[in-house]
Structure 1
Amino acid sequence: MSAGGGKRGRVLIVAGSDSGGGAGIQADIKTVTCLGGYAMTAITALTAQNTQGVHGVMGVNPAFIQQQMRVVLDDIGADVIKTGMLHNAEVIEAVAEVLDEAPGIPVVVDPVMVAQSGASLLEPEAVRALVRDLAPRASLITPNVPEADRLIGTEIADLEAQRHAAQALLTIGVPAALVKGGHLPGPEIHDVLASADGLEEFSGPRVRTDQTHGTGCTLASAIATGLAQGYDMAGAVRRARAYLRRALETAPGFGKGQGPVNHAWTVQPFDGKS
Structure 2
Amino acid sequence: MTIRNVLSIAGSDPSGGAGIQADLKAFSARGTYGMAALTALTAQNTQGVTAIHALPPDFVRAEIETIFADISVDAVKIGMIANAEIAETVAATLKAHATGIPVVLDPVMVAKGGAPLLASDANQAIMKLLLPLATVITPNLPEAAALLGEPEAKTREAMAEQAKRLLQHGPRAVLIKGGHLESDDSPDVLAEADEVTWFEGPRTRTRNTHGTGCTLSSAIAAEIAKGQSVIEAVRVAKAYLAGAISAADELSVGSGHGPVHHFIALWEDGVTRR
1:68 aligns with 2:68: no
Residue identity in the other structure for 2:260 = V
Name the counterpart of 1:214. 211
CA distance in 1, matches of 2:201, 2:208: 18
- Show structure 2 runs of 5+ residues with no match: none
Output the CA distance in 1 between the equivalents of 2:16 and 2:175. Answer: 25
Taking only aligned residues, the RMSD between alpha carbons, in angstroms, comes to 1.4
**Contact residue 266 and residue 272 of structure 2 kept, 8 A:** no
> What is the aligned counterpart of 1:90 among 85, 102, 112?
85
Q: Secondary structure at the match of 1:39?
A: strand
Q: Which segment is superposed worse, 238-247 or 264-273?
A: 264-273
* Alignment correspondent of 2:101: 105
Other structure's SS at 1:47 match: strand
User: Unaligned 5+ residue runs, structure 1?
Assistant: 1-5
Instruction: Give aligned-pair identity as a percent.
Output: 48
* Residue aligning to 2:222: 225
The alpha carbon displacement at 1:120 in A equals 0.4
Q: Secondary structure of 1:257's match?
A: coil
Q: How many residues align?
A: 268
The structure 2 residue matched to 1:162, chosen from 154, 159, 162, is 159
Letter in 1 for 2:30: L
TM value normalised by structure 1: 0.95
Q: For each residue in 1:70-96, what CA deviation from the matched residue of structure 2 results, as whole angstroms up to 9, or x when unmatched?
A: 111111121101100001000000000
Higher-RCO chain (CA-CA 8 Å, sequence separation at least 6): 1
Using the size of structure 2 for normalisation, the TM-score is: 0.95
The CA distance in 2 between the partners of 1:81 and 1:201, in whole Å, is: 24
Match of 1:3 in 2: none
Runs of 4+ in 1 over 6 A off after TM superposition: none
Please give the alpha-carbon distance, in whole angstroms, between the structure 2 residues aligned to 1:178 and 1:264.
24
SS at match of 1:221: helix
State whether residues 45 and 60 of structure 1, in contact with CA within 8 Å, keep that contact through their aligned partners in structure 2. Answer: yes
Give the structure 2 partner of residue 192 of structure 1.
189
Letter in 2 for 1:257: G
Q: Superposition pairs for residues 14-25 of structure 1, below 5 Å?
A: 14-25=9-20
Q: Which residue is 1:263 aligned to?
A: 262
